[in-house]
Chain A
Amino acid sequence: MTGLLLVSHSKRLADGLAELLRELSGSPVPMATVGGETVLGVDAAMVLSGVSELLAQGVDAILVLGDVGSSLFSAEAAIEMAAGSHRMKIADAPLVEGAIAAAMALSGGGALDDAFSAAEEASTIRKR
């Protein structure tokens, strides 16, 4: 089972996005959110705790989506540090659109690679 890890400088931003995804995705998709609370920002240890949270939900593959620059650095560092047999990928995608596309792919029965492609393709979809 594949889960989504939403990484933002702001935990509230990630939580709000997760709320939106639960509404849009139909069948439930495992999700965890990571971000700054009293202080904005994200570090690798926070990303690792999000990974643990997802693994505890029985996930064996994780797609990471992040907001700007350094959230992805932290995610990459966390992937290097993470032990275990689960697979992880980081999508180069806009956070909101990419997460929606990935959640739809997963709720439709897709796996990690499907969610990854869907998220990355989201950056090419024009809004108007």
Chain B
Amino acid sequence: MTNREFASLWLCFKRSVADSREYLNALDAAIGDADHGTNLQRGLDKVAAERAAWGELTLDASCQRIAMTLLSTVGGASGALWGSGLLKSAAVLPNALWCDEATVAAAIGRFVGSVAERGKAVIGDKTMLDVFLPALHELEAGLARGQPFSQVVRQIAADAGNWARDTAALQAKRGRAAYLGPRSVGHIDPGAWSSALWWRCLADSAGGGS
């Protein structure tokens, strides 16, 4: 992945979240405080605005900048989870303008590990991990089978919407939605939905080559 592909991933994510803002807010209204779309959009708008000033940044540095921006502009669980997860990813990305696909997978693995640790969530808890965990698993398995990265992430992007939709059947175990108990069933988790948008953007940005 090049640093330009990395930047285009985040610009795509900014656009997707902006386009889906009302839907994400509506999902959050059902089980949370109705601001997931607005919150994420605020952070990603800032990322996009700062991006213009970066010029050519290495992968580790740009990942770290995005992390710090999200930490300071996106409130609530999303900001802390995305931000500190990306700080962990930045630690495995190289001080270079390019990295291989195994490194991308390792960076995503660190991100997922951080989110799981901080949120103390596991699969089935109705969180963003219900998209990120199966996605990471598919990515690692696909690369281990020798499939091209682009093909693997395109398949994940196609599946991610279903994984997010499947959270509707789950009862929330973490976050504010957990206070709703059984009443959280029947609603898609907004964090899972925005995570699915991120994977689609990864496929769009880095899924074209190889």
- Please determine whether chains A and B interact with each other in the same assembly: yes
Q: How far is the CA of A4 from the CA of B73 in the complex (A)?
A: 24
Say yes or no: is B79 at the interface (Cβ < 8 Å to chain A): yes
Q: Bin chain B's interface residue count.
A: 20 to 34
Contact B118 A45 (CB under 8 A): no
- Min CB distance, A46 to chain B, in Å? 8
Choose the segment among B4-12, B81-89, B137-145, B158-166 that binds chain A (4+ C-beta atoms closer than 8 Å): B81-89
Say yes or no: is A69 at the interface (Cβ < 8 Å to chain B): yes
Q: A44-B71, A45-B71 are in contact. Are A74 and B176 (CB under 8 A)?
A: no
Choose the segment among A21-29, A53-61, A76-84, A105-113 that binds chain B (4+ C-beta atoms closer than 8 Å): A76-84
Q: How far is the CA of A40 from the CA of B71 in the complex (A)?
A: 16
Say yes or no: is A120 at the interface (Cβ < 8 Å to chain B): no
- Min CB distance, B140 to chain A, in Å? 26
Contact B175 A80 (CB under 8 A): no
Q: How far is the CA of A26 from the CA of B33 in the complex (A)?
A: 38
Q: A73-B119, A80-B87 are in contact. Are A44 and B76 (CB under 8 A)?
A: no
Could you mark each residue 23-54 of chain A with 1 if its beta carbon is under 8 Å from any beta carbon of chain B, else 0? 00000000000001001111111000000000
Our pick among B33, B39, B72, B119 for the contact of A44 (Cβ within 8 Å) is: B72
Residue of A nearest to B39 (CB): A41
Contact B81 A39 (CB under 8 A): no
B residues near A117, Cβ cutoff 8 Å: none
What are 28 residue pairs bridging A and B, where the CB atoms are less than 8 Å apart in the complex?
A: A36-B75, A39-B75, A41-B76, A42-B75, A42-B76, A43-B74, A43-B80, A44-B79, A44-B84, A45-B72, A45-B73, A69-B77, A69-B176, A70-B75, A70-B80, A73-B80, A73-B84, A73-B118, A73-B119, A74-B75, A74-B76, A74-B79, A74-B80, A76-B84, A76-B118, A77-B83, A81-B71, A81-B87
By a beta-carbon cutoff of 8 Å, the part of chain B in contact with chain A is: 33, 35, 39, 68, 71-77, 79-81, 83-84, 87, 118-119, 174-176
By a beta-carbon cutoff of 8 Å, the part of chain A in contact with chain B is: 36, 39-45, 68-70, 73-74, 76-77, 80-81
